[in-house]
A and B are shown apart, each in its own frame.
Chain A
Amino acid sequence: MGIVEAILLSVITAATPLVLAALGELVTERSGVLNLGVEGMMVMGAVCAFAATQITGSPYLGILAGIVCGAVFSQLFAFLTLTLVANQVATGLALTLLGLGVSGMLGEGFLGMQGIKLQPIAIPLLSDIPVIGPLLFRQDIIFYLSIALVAGVHWFLFKSRAGLKLRAVGDSHASAHALGVNVIRTRYLAVMFGGACAGLAGAQLSLVYTPQWVENMSAGRGWIALALVVFSSWRPWRLVAGGYLFGAVSISQLHAQAFGLGIPSQLLSSLPYLATIIVLILISHNRRTTLINTPASLGKPFVPDR
């Protein structure tokens, strides 16, 4: 295996949780809801996935548990912000606080346990293609899911009737309501999808990336995911580009260090953040395209008239 392939393999592992969590948040935000609790939902997914895997011995049940946990946990946020119209920004931050605390409590019994790593699945024929095969077709199911979900979400948002409704809710909830779309229900589901994706991202952390449970193991990745949604201008495929760009720069800087280039490690460590900013500047100069894709009702509460 060449060094480039090796780097790319690490990049895929590092980028997958970012893409997944960001994808969920993208759908949530497209419906007009800003949930800053991604970090909390992610860490809940990580602890549930790990615990379920330890108890049942099956990482696949673990994945399921991670998804369910993230989705259920997100409904707390949904109830507060959608039913009780509490402020979304503050509630999201409180959700993160709560998630870090609850996951720490739940995970206490699982600290120091040896994780069960989710094994890759080689896809017949495709996995034999040189270079691309080992990179893309000998991966674990969460990676395949992440790509399938991106494609699915793209199709859903731009090609399906339900997706159109969701975007309508995010762009103008009043008009959507007037047209007979159930705004609150749509948003509940969108938040739930966001939670499920964040939970799946968490499962990737504790089953693939580093098969173990430690407190706060998401270590700020939920925040990066939030930034990536903005980076993508709420478009799924751009999100993949952003996630992989961030992952690639993060991994490359470690290689640069191991190479002994003699550049301060702090400067190298800040490169992923700077790179994301610079690329965003380059792609967002066109005000009109950015505006078209930004959900106009983002963060605004909605209460149906009766």
Chain B
Amino acid sequence: MKKLLLALASTAAVIGFASAAAAQEKAKVCFVYVGSKTDGGWTQAHDIGRLELEKALGDKIETQFLESVPEGPDAERAIERLARSGCGLIFTTSFGFMDATIKIAQKFPDVKFEHATGYKTAPNVATYNSRFYEGRYIQGVIAAKMSEKGVAGYIASFPIPEVVMGINSFVIGARSINPDFKIKVVWANTWFDPGKEADAAKALVDQGVDILTQHTDTTAPMQVAAERGIKAFGQASDMIAAGPKTQLTAIVDTWGAYYIKRTQAFLDGKWETTSSWDGLKDGILTMAPYTNMPDDVKKLAEDTEAKIKSGELKPFTGPLKKQDGSEWLAAGASSDDGTLLGMNFYVEGVDDQLPK
């Protein structure tokens, strides 16, 4: 007890200097997370990026973050708190933070903001996103090669363009190999509920799919696939540990490269508003090792990846039809980014309907 009192007394003295200590030389780069930084999915991927940033530029910057920030007025407060606490560059890492970011950016014109996966920019607000669909295309190609029944199951979270785009890209990839390939979609209506994700996975397997892919955050579907002896793809992080004999590959979010690039620009005074949408070639997403597949499939997957990186292959290239059979892209034509970013329709081969 005596020790504790001493500690209390000494720290009371320290607090007086706390404010003075805050005004130091290092630039502050801050992050707003929608989930917990150890959620094993979306937010953790961003936090790994933040740690890479610290590692790369730690002598010039320090980082701070607020986690589990709900979207809405809480987000506005959290972002403002960071702006007021001296952050020079703030990354807001959820689509739902878009309007809050824009509002606070107007109040703090000297602070730079970067908003993930949105579409609104301002003189001091840039946006960034990752072409996850490139990875989905490769997964589709692998699925079509590996599936005996020609049907894959897709556990989806919410019908937003990002997810719809992924479903379509997967189907297009698969149909480039097997034109009759089909997928079944189950909307879990959650990003994060291991039980529900597992139930969705079981339902799909019970209905006869022999490949699973997911756009939700936990490894529960991978575990189900392992148990049922089928193959599956990981999401957001390398989930090989959950299915050493199950995972074919995974789309791994690697934001670190982007964070380092932008922070460097910020330190050099060269930061500008951009809307960047990087892909495999920029290293913002990477494919986990191709495992549990024959060598020829692995080779095909690697070739596909190389072609996407070189720009030779663009997943959304005609001839492509929409789900209802109407023409979408003529042979050789590629979709523009605007259509993709607002994607609200399925291509042929998806066994599901989107809410209108």
Does A pair with B?
A: yes
**What is the interface of chain A, defined by CB distance below 8 A to chain B?**
3, 6-7, 9-10, 14, 104, 108, 111-112, 114-115, 117, 205, 209-212, 214-217, 219, 221, 250-251, 254-255, 257-260, 262, 264-266, 269
Instruction: Say yes or no: A209 contacts B195, CB within 8 Å.
Output: yes
Binds A, one of B160-168, B218-226, B306-314: B218-226
- Using A3-B207, A254-B203, A260-B351 as known contacts, say yes or no to A212 and B218 having CB atoms under 8 A apart: yes
A67 to B200, CA, bound (A): 28
Please name 12 further chain A to chain B contacts, defined as beta carbons within 8 Å, in addition to the given A7-B206, A114-B241, A214-B218, sorted by A numbering.
A104-B36, A108-B38, A210-B194, A212-B242, A216-B192, A219-B194, A257-B352, A258-B185, A259-B184, A262-B352, A265-B187, A266-B189
Instruction: Say yes or no: B195 contacts A205, CB within 8 Å.
Output: yes
- Using A10-B206, A257-B185, A269-B189 as known contacts, say yes or no to A214 and B40 having CB atoms under 8 A apart: yes
Binary flags per residue of B201-227, CB closer than 8 Å to A gives 1, else 0: 011101100000000001110010001
Q: Mostly helix, strand, loop or mixed at chain A's interface?
A: helix
**What is the interface of chain B, defined by CB distance below 8 A to chain A?**
36, 38-40, 153, 159, 184-187, 189-190, 192-200, 202-204, 206-207, 218-220, 223, 227, 241-242, 351-353, 355
Q: Which residue of B lies closest to A252 (CB)?
A: B203
Instruction: Say yes or no: A112 contacts B40, CB within 8 Å.
Output: yes
Across the interface, B36 reaches (CB within 8 A) one of A3, A212, A215, namely A215
- Minimum CB–CB distance from B204 to chain A (whole Å) comes to 5
Question: Could you write out 22 A-B pairs with CB less than 8 Å apart?
Answer: A10-B203, A14-B195, A104-B36, A111-B38, A111-B40, A115-B223, A205-B194, A209-B195, A212-B220, A214-B192, A215-B39, A217-B195, A221-B195, A250-B199, A251-B202, A254-B203, A257-B186, A258-B203, A259-B184, A262-B352, A265-B187, A265-B189
A108 to B39, CA, bound (A): 10
Across the interface, B202 reaches (CB within 8 A) one of A10, A115, A205, A265, namely A10
Instruction: Say yes or no: B193 contacts A219, CB within 8 Å.
Output: yes
Instruction: Say yes or no: B241 contacts A254, CB within 8 Å.
Output: no
Instruction: Say yes or no: B195 contacts A254, CB within 8 Å.
Output: no
Interfacial chain B residues near A262, Cβ < 8 Å: 352-353
Q: Which residue of A lies closest to B196 (CB)?
A: A219
Interfacial chain A residues near B219, Cβ < 8 Å: 212
A117 to B204, CA, bound (A): 21
Across the interface, B241 reaches (CB within 8 A) one of A112, A210, A219, A257, namely A112
A7 to B206, CA, bound (A): 8
Q: Which residue of B lies closest to A9 (CB)?
A: B202
Interfacial chain A residues near B204, Cβ < 8 Å: 258
Q: Lowest 3 A-B CB distances belong to which pairs?
A: A265-B187, A6-B206, A210-B194
Interfacial chain A residues near B187, Cβ < 8 Å: 257, 265, 269
Q: Which residue of B lies closest to A265 (CB)?
A: B187
